[in-house]
Amino acid sequence: MTFQDLNLIPELTLALDKKGYKEPTPIQQQAIPHILSGKDIFGCAQTGTGKTAAFALPILQLLHTNKPAVPQKTIKALVLAPTRELALQISENFKEYGRNLGIMHTTVFGGVNQNPQVNAIKRGVSILVATPGRLLDLMQQGFIKLNSIEYFVLDEADRMLDMGFINDIKKVITKLPVKKHTMFFSATAAPDIMKLANTILKNPVSIAVTPVSSTTTLVKQSVYYVKKESKRNLLKHILKSATIESALVFTRTKRGADKVVKELNSNGIKAEAIHGNKSQNARERALKGFKDRTIRVLVATDIASRGIDVDKLSHVINYELPEQAETYVHRIGRTGRAGANGIAISFCTQDEMPYLKDITKLIKKDIEVIKSHPFA
Ligand code: AMP
């Protein structure tokens, strides 16, 4: 199947050619025709499946084809995302896919001065990508009105609930017009997610691709059993291998991330940390360096990692295993994206064995144990 088969307009297919996309991913094949025909969507899909384009492309097309004769300054499409990184990533996608359309969009998120965001809104945008807190803040100050919204996307709803955004989301929803076209995406279909979905969606079409328990087969997974005090030496040992072009290393805590970075840098391995205590500018700088390949290792906590989308990321290393098995799937899904091969390495101490057990139960397969290493 091609993008033309999905009845996308040439302005979009040209932009996709430029991105190097050859064919639509399964979620795009399934979702785009329904969204174009005006149906609400419940999409069960994790990041890495191409879900952003699955909603961004039809929204751009609908905004373009239904463009009013006289330009208006009202916001027509709202995308809510749990983190700043994901919001920026989504905006970047709207920019790239919409490069031939001239549809204005902007992003609002907390942790930075609001003035540039307010100015962009005042100039007039059709698409707004936002995190819930800053959106509500700017609404309360009267800078943002949602009464003209025609398209509403709730992205990574599962993560929104995990992060405690449920009340913020409900507040936003009450301000949206009753008649709108809603697209709801979540990596899981847990009961609380379904409850929220049922309150917003009208006769939705349900689409599910790669449920969270099926880790992508393109990612080669392995585990190293190691003592806690030997983890840093094992990490340095593994990173010495030249085959590791870039590695995203996960720790459970912010302090842990900083400690790993310090250790690596003092051993000549260029690393940066990305977590909630870092300023937005520092986070963006670190992410940019990692994407540009000037920083080889990025050490992240889970919340900060949402939305990190790096082309051809070769390795994900779980320095510490996550307490939630689903988080493991999200983490390793950062590599092996859109058809590329990836490698996921996990370190596991005696204390972390129960987490590993939960993970193998969720993904329904064993993870290869690497026995021959100097810190076994
Ligand atoms: P997402 O799940 O939206 O975060 O997308 C994951 C990655 O896949 C991003 O790097 C996208 O640029 C890329 N991508 C999305 N759709 C396609 C496609 N049809 N072909 C190739 N890559 C894609």
State which of 308, 309, 310 you would mutate to test the pocket of ligand 1, scoring each by most atoms of that ligand within 8 A of its C-beta. Answer: 309
- Read off the pLDDT of each residue in 32-60 and give the average, rounded to a whole number: 93
- Read off the pLDDT of each residue in 369-375 and give the average, rounded to a whole number: 90
Torsion of CA 94, 95, 99, 104, to 10 degrees: 90
Q: What is the radius of gyration, based on Cα positions, of the chain?
A: 21
pTM equals 0.69
Q: Tell me: the pLDDT tens digits for 62-83?
A: 999 998 888 788 999 999 999 9
DSSP letter for each residue of 323-370: SSHHHHHHHHTTSSGGG--EEEEEEE-GGGHHHHHHHHHHHTSPPEE-
Amino acid identity for residue 161 in this structure: L
**Ligand 1 site: residues with CB under 6 angstroms?**
21, 24-25, 28, 47-53, 309, 337-338
Q: Tell me: the pLDDT tens digits for 98-129?
A: 999 999 999 999 989 999 999 999 999 999 99
What band does 215 get if pLDDT is binned at 50, 70 and 90? low
Q: What span, in angstroms and rounded, lies between the C-alpha atoms of 252 and 370?
A: 22
- Read off the pLDDT of each residue in 343-363 and give the average, rounded to a whole number: 94
- Read off the pLDDT of each residue in 168-181 and give the average, rounded to a whole number: 96
Q: Does the structure show a pLDDT above 60 at 214?
A: no
Topology agreement, domain 4-209 and domain 219-369 = yes
Q: Tell me: the pLDDT tens digits for 234-259?
A: 999 999 877 788 899 999 999 999 99
Domain positions in the chain are 4-209, 219-369
Which residues are CB-contacts of 20 (< 8 A; sequence separation ≥ 6)? none
Cα 80 to ligand 1 centroid, rounded to whole Å: 19
Mean of the per-residue pLDDT values of the chain:
91
Cβ pair 248, 330 in contact under 8 A: no
Q: 153, exposed or middle or buried, with CB in 10 Å at 0-12, 13-18, 19+?
A: buried
> With respect to CATH, is domain 219-369 assigned 3.40.50.300?
yes
Tokens of 68: 């009013």
Q: DSSP code of 280?
A: H
Cβ pair 105, 129 in contact under 8 A: yes
Q: What span, in angstroms and rounded, lies between the C-alpha atoms of 119 and 74?
A: 14
Q: What span, in angstroms and rounded, lies between the C-alpha atoms of 302 and 353?
A: 20
* Span 4-209 CATH architecture: 3-Layer(aba) Sandwich (3.40)
Q: Tell me: the pLDDT tens digits for 292-304?
A: 889 999 999 987 6
Cα 52 to ligand 1 centroid, rounded to whole Å: 7
Cα 10 to ligand 1 centroid, rounded to whole Å: 19
Neighbours of 349 (CB within 10 A): 17
